Amino acid sequence: MKACLLRSPAPVEKNPLEFTDAFDPKPGKGEVLVRVKMCGVCRTDLHVVEGELPARKSPVIPGHQIVGVVEERGEGARRFATGARVGIPWLHSADLTCEYCRAGMENLCDHPAFTGYTVDGGYAEYVTAPEAFVYPIPEGFRDEHAAPLLCAGIIGFRSLRLSGIKRGGRLAFYGFGSAAHVATQIARHWGVEVYACTRGVKHQQLALELGAVWAGEASAAPPVKLDAAIIFAPAGELVPPALAALKKGGVLVLGGIHMSPIPSFDYDLLYQERVIRSVANNTRQDGEDFLRVAAEIPVRTQTTLFALRDANRALNDLKGDRINGAAVLDCIQ
């Protein structure tokens, strides 16, 4: 099969992904082999390709927002029929036996595997995954529009949940890329007032089009105090201004897997029971709940398509803030 291989991490400006022939994967016990149609490009892929996340498999095929069809079923795999449309997310598998898994927190599993990081992902024509960690994709979404739901969407949804935001509440997003453009639609559906703090007029315009009541620069203070804020941008320097924008008791959620160092700040910014918490991965329950809500609303994703062989260009455009909405690779050769 054709795939984009990362042999060793490097800045994306050096185009480190190699579009080449790779071995066809075979589905193991309980696994499905999926013919990849579309694979979303996530900021986490940038962190993998550039080495901010230490290499765990080499070479590795990145990509964890995969939409495709079941081509073949491994031994004992019966959940999906051949030809079924499915999605494969970041959490490739969990051990289901550690204290976290037993407590229903498989997102914090001690022995997880991650798609496109510790195991090969979807910048390829084929990929395998345990059927128990694969989602059926609701009808009504085209493949390219479903792809960004699988990480940006699900992680945005978990971030919203952990923010504790309620109907009538006021919420800000810091950074307005793939995750925020989906999460805004969920928040609006829940009757939440959305503020967007993000660099770039295009991102601010998209936020307003999707129903944000205000959009400004990332460092600008929103005009009202907020119940919650979610930082999707990997920029630690946004933590103090985001805390300063919160009401007493407000919650700041850090939605990314990697963030630059957080500068020190006065305790006053945190005092009055303000909370900072991170989001790590997601449970399958988050994914199922999110896809159901996304289909009900229905969530619309704005996508920019790239050919699989142009994955380096997609990553460069993502890094350079030149993608409005979500970048998606068309993996059909």
Applying CB under 5 A, which of residues 12, 32, 42, 239 lies at the interface with Zn ion?
A: 42
Smallest gap from residue 86 Cβ to Zn ion (A): 17
Residues ≥6 apart with Cβ < 8 Å to 256: 43, 44, 231, 232, 233, 234
> DSSP readout, 142-195?
-HHHHGGGGTHHHHHHHHHHHHT--TT-EEEEES-SHHHHHHHHHHHHTT-EEE
Using CA of residue 93, residue 123, residue 259, residue 233, what is the dihedral sign?
negative
Report d(CA 215, CA 176) in Å as an integer.
10
By C-beta, is 72 or 95 nearer to Zn ion?
95
Least Å distance between CB 262 and Zn ion? 21
Shortest reach from residue 47's CB to Zn ion, in Å: 9
> Per CB under 5 A, which region of 72-80, 150-158, 181-189, 235-243 contacts Zn ion?
150-158
The nearer residue to Zn ion, 233 or 269, going by C-beta atoms, is: 233
Q: How far is the CB of 72 from Zn ion (least distance, A)?
A: 26
Q: Tell which positions 65-104 bind Zn ion, by CB under 5 A.
A: 94-95, 98, 101
Q: Tell whether residue 326 is a contact of Zn ion (CB under 5 A).
A: no
Closest distance between Zn ion and the C-beta of residue 44, in Å? Answer: 4
Q: Which residues of 294-320 are buried (b: 16+ CB within 10 A; e: fewer)?
A: bbeeebebbbbebebbbbbebbbbbbe
* Of the residues 151, 242, 243, 318, which one makes contact with Zn ion according to CB under 5 A: 151
Comparing CB distances to Zn ion, the nearer of 93 and 204 is 93
Q: Is 14 exposed, middle or buried (0-12, 13-18, 19+ CB in 10 A)?
A: exposed
Strand boundaries in 255-320, DSSP class E: 275-278, 303-307
Window of 27-35, 44-52, 178-186, 203-211 that interacts with Zn ion by CB under 5 A: 44-52
Pick the closer one to Zn ion by CB: 7 or 102.
102
Residue numbers 99-118 binding Zn ion by CB under 5 A: 101, 109
Judged by CB, which is closer to Zn ion: 18, or 95? 95
d(C-alpha 131, C-alpha 274), whole Å:
40
**In whole angstroms, how close is the CB of 43 to Zn ion at the nearest point?**
7
How many residues contact Zn ion, by CB under 5 A?
A: 8
* Minimum gap (Å) between residue 38 Cβ and Zn ion: 14
Contact 260, 236 (CB under 8 A): yes
State how far the Cα of 42 lies from the Cα of 114, in Å rounded to an integer: 13
Stretch that binds Zn ion, among 4-12, 41-49, 70-78, 207-215 (CB under 5 A): 41-49
Q: How far apart are CA 162 and CA 12, in angstroms?
A: 32
Contacts to Zn ion by CB under 5 A:
42, 44, 94-95, 98, 101, 109, 151
